[in-house]
Chains A and B, each alone.
Chain A
Amino acid sequence: MKRYLFNTRAYAYVAVFVALLFLPRFLGAYHLMMFESGLAFAIMAMAHNLLLRYGGLLSFGHGAYFACGAYGVGLLARYYPDHFSFELAILCALALSLAISVLFGFLVVRHTRIFFSILTLALSMLIFAILVKAYNFTGGSDGIRVEIPTFFGYEFDMRRIQFLVGPYYYILLGVFTAATLTLLAIVNSPFGKALQATRDNELRAEMIGAQVKKTRWYAFVISGLFAGLAGAVWSFVNGHITPEISDWVFSGEIVYMVLLGGFMVFEGPIVGALVFTYLKLYAISSTEYWMLIIGSTLVILVLLLPGGITGGFRSLFLRLKR
């Protein structure tokens, strides 16, 4: 049974991956770029769900780590434009988000439930304040422009749009695939099981010898790292970064993506992030009251489909199988 499930999942992954490889043939430049943002958000949402689904911890400040990643790239672009390569930019992004999530994680894992959520929110606003106020260093609310990077020594001599719909799509797809497989491996690893154990029963986890706070801290750092990675790959797509991505509104959108896609299924956040990207796009382009659409979707979701899109499909599938 389990083997069978694993195989179907593996086949589905391969099928989706192949389909994604050919996607640029079917999507226009604009939609492909939207899809790229969606993929970056998907990494972000999976990182968030590592804490929510597997750690039982709802972070309301994940924008901060996303911003760390994006600013890791941005600051490199701003201060060392001669060394602005993709690989170095990713390293800077990971280093910055690692440093911040190690520090913040150490503080927040002392608490769970609403206290955890509020603490993450408060700390993310600290990052927001720094990004806005340290104008000379970060460019303040004007943000930083992100140019086309070199890629392992190779220079892309093309316009931004060509870069994005061409080579960058495959780079991003590679990063996305690697991130998905790594996170999937982590949730099934002994560490992932220990994390789920701390979620289910803190007392028992401690009494089988797991170190609860340490486990949560590690999970927080891993989540922060992937959030940073997402921010980094997103910054190239957007071409410009501003402190808004560390604002609580964006952190709220991350939670929204995860809930929309369904947090009980590992792949749920991916679906959520992609659907949200398009939902927001169409909502904004169709009415100035777009927030109303987003908000009412959330209400409908919570009332009718608490398991999100993937949760809905799963229960439908289970009902049909019976």
Chain B
Amino acid sequence: MLEVSNLVKSFGKFMVINGAEFTIQENEIVGLLGPNGAGKTTLVNLISGHLFPDSGAIMLSGRNITKAPPYQRIKLGIARNFQITQLFEELIVLDNVRNCLLSLQNKLNRFFKPASAYKEATEEALEILDTFNLGRFAGELAANLSEGDKKILDTAMAFALRSKFLLLDEPTSGVATADKFKVMDTIIQAIKDRGTATMIIEHDMDIVSDYCQKVMVLSEGRILAQGEPQAVMENQLVQETLFGVSDE
């Protein structure tokens, strides 16, 4: 459903993405691994429309979205979270999620009637908050949440956009280690219930091998290897890039 072909993006002379190519099927949950500076976040930015590539193409369900602005991609079904949380901090938690839903229904330009009177969006927002265990914070300012909860809210907002393809950039960074798997369980369960194709960037190998059906390794702007988690991890080239070890 998502096809990326021969993608190139450079900042000045520095080629960050250098001919990346891959496909993601429907219902698939893919892990993206790679050393620091491999271009993972840039790749997310290119797919979500925050940046535009120098060349190459991005297709979503057969439609070329390489040059589509972010708001069009969202309507077409691409959503993302942020590695460094990006919330509407001076709005209440409910409004953070409800804004996503109202945006989806093309209602962000409605005047006069209060947002709380949009019953459908409000109820769905509360449901999503419950799914992510944030229900009790619905009336709090987003700024008052703990770092871990902010991170979860960030993911909940991406999830609320009801995308066909979801980009999760380190959804558990900043979440307490003890809670990591609990949070991932919640997220993955929600994704599976909807059948959303998902790409997860993660540093934690255990998380990747537990939750992803497929793994891709990005290195120096290219896809170095892809396949089943176990097979990819055993790939010698991958081990060298990711862990810096090699058999003598």
Seen from chain A, the residues whose Cβ lies within 8 Å of a Cβ on chain B are 1-2, 182, 185-186, 188-194, 196-197, 199-201, 203-211, 215, 218
Contacts and interface: CB of A to CB of B under 8 A. Distances in A.
16 contacts: A182-B112, A185-B112, A186-B111, A188-B115, A189-B110, A197-B88, A201-B86, A203-B82, A204-B157, A205-B88, A206-B70, A206-B71, A207-B50, A208-B103, A208-B157, A215-B109
Q: Which 9 pairs, one residue from A and one from B, show the smallest C-beta to C-beta distance?
A: A209-B74, A204-B86, A200-B88, A209-B103, A194-B108, A188-B114, A209-B71, A190-B110, A197-B88
A1 B118 CA distance: 19
Nearest to A218: B109
Interface string B50-92: 1000000000000000000011001100011010001111110
A131 to B, nearest CB: 31
B105 to A, nearest CB: 9
Contact of A209 (B70, B87, B139): B70
A183 to B, nearest CB: 10
Given A206-B70, A208-B157, A210-B71, A191 B111 contact: yes
Q: Chain B interface residue count: which class?
A: 35 or more
Contact of B139 (A1, A191, A210): A1
Interface stretch (B20-28, B93-101, B235-243): B93-101
Nearest to B143: A200
A209 B108 CA distance: 9
Interface of B: 48, 50, 70-71, 74-75, 79-80, 82, 86-91, 95, 98-100, 102-104, 107-116, 118, 139, 157, 161
B102 A204 contact: no
Contacts of B89: 200-201
B90 A193 contact: no
A1 B140 CA distance: 12
Given A190-B109, A196-B88, A208 B115 contact: no
Contacts of A193: 91, 95, 98-99, 102, 108, 115
